[in-house]
């Protein structure tokens, strides 16, 4: 493993995807709780994300509907103000080979700055808030959103347009993609 010496735990990639996935969700990296369970988004952030998407747990974990791919596949460890950033080796090593197998993807949701900086390279100078506020600029390929972590409740309070505008749009486009399946 390329990153074994840099991780606090033994490498145990947390990813779920299928060749027929319709929606790809690219997040940051699993937290310690998710690393322990081995189930992507098996925490409070996942509960909030499913609420935003308007889907049940059964739908969310159906790999014919959703591919759950983090920027870093394993828990990166604890930093001063929260978890460390995703390991930089994972996305370049694994994303393209995973995504190239998925021929039915209708939408890729980019959660947080790490996914957005990686996939929206030409506009990485924009802030996360600007990207999320102007999400329609990246459609139909990408839809950037903030991370659903409880730590981002302050951001959401400062940006009420997210819940009023982006979440309903997100639910609608997810519903449309699921109906296609």
pTM for the model: 0.94
Give me the pLDDT at residue 48, please: 97
What does each C-alpha distance from 37 to 60, 110, 113, 154 come to in angstroms? 16, 23, 25, 28
Number of CB atoms found within 10 A of residue 134's CB: 12
Count structural domains, the chain: 1
At a CB cut-off of 8 Å and minimum separation 6, what does 167 contact?
52
Under the banding of pLDDT at 50, 70 and 90, the label for residue 172 is very high
Q: How does DSSP assign 34-65, residue by residue?
A: HHHHT-TT-SHHHHHHHHHHT--HHHHT-TTT
pLDDT at 123: 64
> Any idea which residue has 């370049």 for tokens?
92
CA-CA distance, 138 to 91, in Å (whole number)?
Answer: 20
Nearest alpha carbon to residue 76 among 151, 5, 153:
5
pLDDT digits (tens, 9 = 90+) for 110-146: 999 999 999 998 765 689 999 999 999 999 999 999 9
Confidence of residue 17 (pLDDT cuts 50, 70, 90): very high
Pairing state of beta strands 82-83 and 78-79?
A: antiparallel
CB 113 within 8 Å of CB 145 = no
Q: Where residue 138 sits, what CATH number does that domain have?
A: 3.40.470.10
What local confidence, expressed as pLDDT, does residue 75 receive? 83
Residue the block writes with tokens 């010496």: 5
Q: Distance between CA 142 and CA 125 in Å, rounded? A: 17
Q: How confident is the model at residue 1 (pLDDT cuts 50, 70, 90)?
A: low
In this structure, of 40-54, 88-102, 110-124, the range with the lowest mean pLDDT score is 110-124
Q: Which structural domain, as residue segments, surrounds residue 172?
A: 4-180
Q: How confident is the model at residue 79 (pLDDT cuts 50, 70, 90)?
A: confident
């Amino acid at each position: 493993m390329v990153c074994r010496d840099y991780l606090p735990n033994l490498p145990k990639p947390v990813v779920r995807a299928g060749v027929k996935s319709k929606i790809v969700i690219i997040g940051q990296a699993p937290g310690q709780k998710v690393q322990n369970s081995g189930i992507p988004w098996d925490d409070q952030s996942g509960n909030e994300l499913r609420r935003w998407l308007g889907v049940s747990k059964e739908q969310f974990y159906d790999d014919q509907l959703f591919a759950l791919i983090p920027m870093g596949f394993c828990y990166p460890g604890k930093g001063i103000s929260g978890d460390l950033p995703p390991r930089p080796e994972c996305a370049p090593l694994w994303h393209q080979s995973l995504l190239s197998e998925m021929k039915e993807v209708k939408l890729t949701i980019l959660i947080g700055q790490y996914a957005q900086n990686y996939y929206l390279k030409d506009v990485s100078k924009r802030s996360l808030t600007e990207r999320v506020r102007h999400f329609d600029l990246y459609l139909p390929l990408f839809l950037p959103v903030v991370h659903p972590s409880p730590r981002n409740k302050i951001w959401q309070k400062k940006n009420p347009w997210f819940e009023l505008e982006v979440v309903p749009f997100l639910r609608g486009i997810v519903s449309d993609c699921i109906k296609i399946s």
